Chains A and B, each alone.
Chain A
Amino acid sequence: MLGFLIRRIIQSIFVMLTVALIAFMMFRFMGDPVNSLVAENATTEERDAVRERLGLDQPIWVQYGRFVARASTGDFGLSWRNARPVSTLLSERFPATAELVLVAAGLSLLIGIPLGILTALRPSSLSAQSLQLLSLIGISLPTFVTGILLILIFSVWLGWLPSFGRGTVIDIGWWSTGFLTVSGLKALILPSFMLCLFQLTLIMRLVRAEMMEVLRTDYIKFAKARGLTNRSINFRHALKNTLIPVITIFGLQLGGLIAFAIVTETVFQWPGMGALFIQAVSFGDVPVMAAYLVLVSLIFVIINTTVDLLYAVLDPRLRVDGTKSAH
């Protein structure tokens, strides 16, 4: 278990160093940072002085080392677009994205798992069949089209829910939350629903497939032969075995939620990190892009490591000897 943990952490560090390398290369080769710091008519000497001050005359691996050192303290310099510190920009935007993604993730689990169980337990019922068809459409529907449809129906035609922004937010320290006001909660409904829809269909299909697989196993048949109640067989014996693999996939997909928050934030003009990233991409604002990349990668790595550990805790076969026993 400890060996597993250490292996996992080394792997994570390797991934983060690679991502930092990509970010560093972006800095190094996209535009000359010196140009943005000196006057246009600067002499070669002046330019060299700046170069030296920035450490750009050093060997490339020294520069990379310095970049990693600064990045690990959260220092990515100034945005090329509006000259504010990138870390400030990101920390202002982080709560909006975090709240959106958390709500969407929660919704997709809360709705997806019961629907998956329902369709697995009664696969031939009408509701299960129509859910299965709907999920196929749900997977093919581009997320931004879903978002636009939601706005068209609930904001434009019915006028029930706001179509942009976070509503009224309350600041708690540096964190701004929309959870504490009615308008903030109302503003969350459409964006989080749009974001969770794809995830929801995925989880539903996954739970269904996994559960049907489990219900065919010998230990479920043996549980039936012992006269255990359907409730216990479905929700105690089958569900636990179903959810363990679902957790892994969900962890991986959480990264997808963060990425697709970019689209949701654009559709609903949600003031999160994704919207900031899109602006950075369209203006070629390297510091913001690089910082976003590193931050998001860090979140991915943390999620994946947590999921692996959780898996090991939940599956007793992994808990003791670290290897899955043969079936």
Chain B
Amino acid sequence: MKRFVLLILPAAVPTALVLGAAVTMGVAQSMGLTPVAGGPQSSLDAYSAVASSGELAPAVVISLSIALVATAIAIAVGFTTALAMTTTRFGSKVLKGLAISTIPIPHVIGAAAIGLLLADSGWLARLFGSTAGNWPQFVAGPWWAATIIEYAWKESAFIALVVAATLSRDADELAKTAAVLGAGPAARMRYVTMPLATPALILAGTLSFVYALGSFEVPWLLGRAYPEPLPVLAYRLFTSTDLEVRPQAFAVSMVTMAIALVIGVSALRLFRRQVVTA
């Protein structure tokens, strides 16, 4: 146990310092303690202002919805891909290569590419000879389709790799043993594969959910003017030429962080229970 703690220190200490400084500054700015102009004054005005502006609630709803749908698709696609990776030759070569090559692409590049692909005057619309008005509104449309597709595409590769890594070691052997003992495909999936994969699915799913909740560039590029997801709202307030609005930007960021924390902690509890029962 002691050695384990020592080993993670080089990673944990800088992370804690950077995160601690950022969160402290965020809290201080959201409470009006470091204004650009005028003297510091501690208050929760920024929180009540942003809550009463009627922008916060729709932002929370739209952010959670996008993250939920995108993560659900990513889990389904990622898990299936992981199964194919660990059980077929095609999967272990081609799919794994595809997933690995997806990881280093930054989300902002992915979002720009998805935009070029799916926009009304985009590549696919031209390929299908679609005239203005009859192409589905993926980009800037009411269902946030392009945003969700971008997250689902990037995160499914991530989930596939994480789950495949946990499955690859013993799943095949255990499944074979189970088969020898008379377990059919459904039983093997239920009693061997799922219990092995679930902890990894919970962790990877939580990471991608929290990422989708807090990321700015994808909904900003592919989304619509209203309602705004939390990070887009925070950014607009942060860049407002009205300096008195800046604390509100940090209030929105703190709210986003609180939601992410609640989700992270509950996922961790779920993860512990899974590991214990497994």
Q: Do A and B come from one complex?
A: no
**A interface residues, Cβ below 8 angstroms from B:** none
**B interface residues, Cβ below 8 angstroms from A:** none
